[in-house]
Amino acid sequence: MKTSLDTSKIGKTDISVTRIGMGGAPLGGLDSKTARDTLEYAYAQGIRYFDTAPLYGSGLSEIHNGGFLSTLKRTDFVLSSKVGRLIIPGQDIPFNYTKEGILRSIDESLTRLNLDSIDIVLIHDPDDHYSSALTEAFPTLAKLREEGVIKAIGAGMNQWEMLRRFAEDADFDCFLVAGRYTLLDHSALQELMPLCLEKDISLILGGPYNSGILASDLDSKSTYFYDPSPLEVIKRAKKIKQVCDRHQVPLKAAAIQFGLMHPSVAATIPGPRSPEEIKDNIAMALIQIAPDLWRELKQEGLIHQDCPE
């Protein structure tokens, strides 16, 4: 397996991202100094792929990212942000996948980022808006890609089913899928991931720790998809940890490396809240894991037989 700071190409583009990127959702809840320290540390450790969105902290994540990234040479990092939600002061953030909404969203993101380009633009959470995402948002982004304004088009979602439909119906470069190919959830494995390989669509994995449980002490306070972890999920995670313990591998190391072994996956983007969390993520990604661990997890029925080793 490639190491965390090796790079992988995004689809058929010339974009290469570090295998460990920086998920930007937590930055939306951080103060300026902590966010800046975290971004600077990520870059110092070799991370060159940064993801953000207008939705994260109502634009604050983009502002924090831009405050640091705008000081760098533009070719020294890859940035993804998202479209489909417009920030209107004093109002809930509405969905908008129209041509006008997409163009406005990109313009406003560039202002918050203090940059003149975004490498990868992802259609954000169009769960109830498939038609407008496909017939309005995608053609708008495709024109920008053709003109060289953006380099890649993707969609970012917490489900895999609609991403499969997008893969069948349009020329996407990548998908960001959160929490659907992890040690605890293999739901993207059999239908989305083979199709992405066939279509040369790269996957970016969000939520490699399933919002916390796989980076926790596996107690009743852990979270799974941002809710309290169900007892049966905790029990399964503990069984996985027992196998990891027998192989002297931290559960967190297995969690962050699991997704990266699949050939459709270009990167995984945990969302750190501090330099310390970045340091730990990278350390976990660099631990050597023998294939025997994955084989035992399969023998115990804890991961799917088709998961790559």
Please give the positions annotated as active site. 51, 56, 82
User: From CA 136, how far away is CA 97, in angstroms rounded?
Assistant: 6
Q: Give the C-alpha separation, 102 to 54, whole Å.
A: 12
First-to-last alpha carbon distance for the chain, in angstroms, is 9
Who contacts 192 (Cβ-Cβ below 8 Å, separation ≥6)? Answer: 160, 163, 164, 167, 175, 177, 180, 203
HSE toward the beta carbon, residue 131, CA cutoff 13 A: 0
Ramachandran sector of residue 59 (left: φ over 0; alpha: ψ -120 to 50; beta: rest): left
3-state secondary structure of 69: helix
- The helix/strand/coil state of 113 is helix
